[in-house]
Amino acid sequence: MADVSAPVWFITGCSTGFGHELAKLTLDRGWPTVVTARDKSRVADLADGRDNALALDLDVTDTGQIIAAVKAAEEKFGRIDVLVNNAGYGYQAAIEEGEEDEIRAMFDANVFGLFAMTRAVLPGMRARRKGHILNITSLAGFMGLPGSGYYAATKHAVEGFSDALALETAPLGIKVTCVEPGPFRTDWAGRSLRQTPSRIADYAETAGARMATTSGYSGRQPGDPVRAGEAMIRVTQTENAPRHLVLGAFAYDNITRKLGERRSQIEALKDISLGADFPQ
């Protein structure tokens, strides 16, 4: 029997990777968990035989499915305490060679789907004056890398959205955390990554070189997705939840370096920046 006092989790994109491992952790704790995938048969291993699990079909680019899934979750468990916006995928291409259809499709899933999912869950959290939204972004939410400009753009968009959301919902008791992993040992590169190969010679040493190594790195990433899931759970149990949760040494080192470089660049141009105001 599910513990009615336990937090109710709703996780998108549970078929593999972070979503799958996190769902196993919450379910094993006995917490009510909504596990979703575009085809719910792919999360049958998580839900079968558990009365604290609800498996649902959910394509986050389908507004009707989002509304139906939130309604089903609230009908079964009474509420949603933690929303994990995990569904999404990657697309690699040199900026000049990016294909319009691929770019827009990724934005629909990574950005507009996440926005819609959040809007659907907020009314219930707002009514209870309680909730926590975890948005899975990336190291790419802080910095772009060759070949991943469009992917980084989706994650930067979610970071900006989350900044505003956190300010709007903090007085309502709703917390917002962006989870920002580096490379983790999931099948992201094999299953959740699309590419447009670079054919322009001028990009061979930048976007082309990085894309060529991406798939070969799969299975050797330093990050442990189970430990990542434990970290996500931990921040939902803290009174002062962080706005940012950086995961893995690779992400920590690169994000802190990037932030330091950015501050140095801003400070170096301080006089020019301040000089843009009307004279006092």
Q: E strands, 58-186, where?
A: 82-85, 90-92, 131-136, 174-181
Catalytic status, residue 150: no
192-207 as b/e: b if 16+ CB within 10 A: bbebbebeeeebeeeb
User: pLDDT value at position 184?
Assistant: 74
pLDDT band at 1 (very low <50, low <70, confident <90, very high): very low
State if pTM tops 0.75: yes
Plot region of 164 (φ>0 → left; ψ -120 to 50 → alpha; else → beta): alpha
- In this structure, which amino acid lies at residue 72? A
The residues, ordered by sequence, that sit 6+ positions from 195 with a Cβ below 8 Å of its Cβ are: 91, 92, 93, 211, 214
pLDDT band at 19 (very low <50, low <70, confident <90, very high): very high
Q: pLDDT per residue over 67-99, tens digit each?
A: 999 999 999 999 999 999 999 999 999 999 999
User: pLDDT value at position 275?
Assistant: 96
Give the pLDDT mean for 184-202.
Answer: 80
Residue spans of the domains in the chain: they are 9-274
Cα separation, 164 vs 171, whole angstroms: 13
Cα separation, 60 vs 18, whole angstroms: 17
Could you tell me the two tokens for 78? 């009474």
Give the pLDDT mean for 55-71.
Answer: 98
Q: At what angle do helices 100-107 and 149-169 cross, to 10 degrees?
A: 20
Catalytic residue chosen out of the listed positions 91, 150, 151, 203 = 151
Mean pLDDT of the chain: 93
What fold is seen in the domain 9-274?
Rossmann fold (3.40.50)
- In this structure, which amino acid lies at residue 191? R
Look at residues 86, 82, 90 and name the one whose alpha carbon lies nearest to residue 58. 86
Could you tell me the two tokens for 201? 């010679």
The CA-based angle 251-253-255, given to 5 degrees, is: 60
- In this structure, which amino acid lies at residue 238? T
For residue 39, what are the β-bridge partners? none
Sign of the Cα pseudo-torsion (236, 239, 240, 246, in order): negative
Could you tell me the two tokens for 80? 């949603």
